[in-house]
Amino acid sequence: MVAVARSAEVLRILDRYLVEVVERYELCPWARATREHGALGAEVLWGTPALDAWVAAAERVLAAPGVRVAMVVAPELAGPRDELAALRDRVAARLPWAGVAEFHPDAALELARPARVVPFVRRSPDPLLQLVPLALIDAVRDVGPPADLARQAAMLSGHAAPSRPALAARIAAANHATVTAVHAELAAVLDAIAADRRASYARLGITACR
DSSP letter for each residue of 18-58: IIIIIITTTSSTTHHHHHHTT-EEEEE--SS--HHHHHHHH
The proportion of the chain whose per-residue pLDDT surpasses 90, expressed as a percent, equals: 73
Cβ–Cβ < 8 Å for 121, 172: no
Report pLDDT for 162. 36
Report pLDDT for 142. 56
Report pLDDT for 180. 95
pLDDT in tens, 135-177: 887 766 655 554 444 454 444 444 333 334 467 788 889 999 9
Average pLDDT over residues 31-53: 95
Average pLDDT over residues 183-194: 96
pLDDT in tens, 75-127: 999 999 999 999 999 999 999 999 999 999 998 899 999 989 999 999 999 99
Average pLDDT over residues 33-50: 95
Alpha helices in 95-166 (DSSP H): 114-121, 134-143, 149-156
Report pLDDT for 155. 45
Other C-beta atoms closer than 10 Å to the C-beta of 83 total 14
CA dihedral 149, 155, 158, 159 (to 10 degrees): 100
Amino acid making up residue 151:
R
